[in-house]
Amino acid sequence: MKPNVFISLLLLACFHSASVQAKIITPEEFWQHYTQGNPLLVDVRSNEEFIRGHLPLSLNIPYDKIETITTFAADKSQAILLYCRTGRRAEIAEQALNELGYHNVYNGQSYQALLTAMPESSLSPKNKAP
């Protein structure tokens, strides 16, 4: 009987982890999300990295302080676009946001790749709050 319980728990854990998959997107998909609606753009790098350069209209919330996002995104269904230097810190922040109940979260990964792929039209804050 005990092996059956163990196998059941193991299967349950596998299905649960598969249901909360990371939403890693390409730079092109990132900018498509950016132009469709009003997503919250969050740079999860350190303050020092943010000061050296960041995407237009992005907030800086370091990944280890991501729980403070509730100040900016009370609506848990709002799209949130995350990025950092390589994607790892954005992945950690995405997992934390999922645990807080935010499930419309996307990992755009690399700041440099996003900057390179940024369309000209993204420089103007069209459809964005002032």
| Residue 8 and residue 90 in contact, taking contact as beta carbons nearer than 8 Å | no
Domain count, the chain: 1
Contacts of 26 by beta carbon, 8 Å cutoff, 6+ apart = none
Per residue in 76-121, pLDDT (tens digit) is 999 999 999 999 999 999 999 999 999 999 999 999 999 999 988 7
User: Order of strands, edge to edge, in the sheet holding 59-60?
Assistant: 59-60, 40-43, 80-84, 105-110
- pLDDT band of residue 40 (cuts 50, 70, 90) is very high
More confident of the two residues 127 and 21: 21
- Domain of 95, CATH number, reads 3.40.250.10
Name the residue among 56, 59, 66 with its Cα closest to residue 31: 56
Tell me if 113 is assigned to some domain.
yes
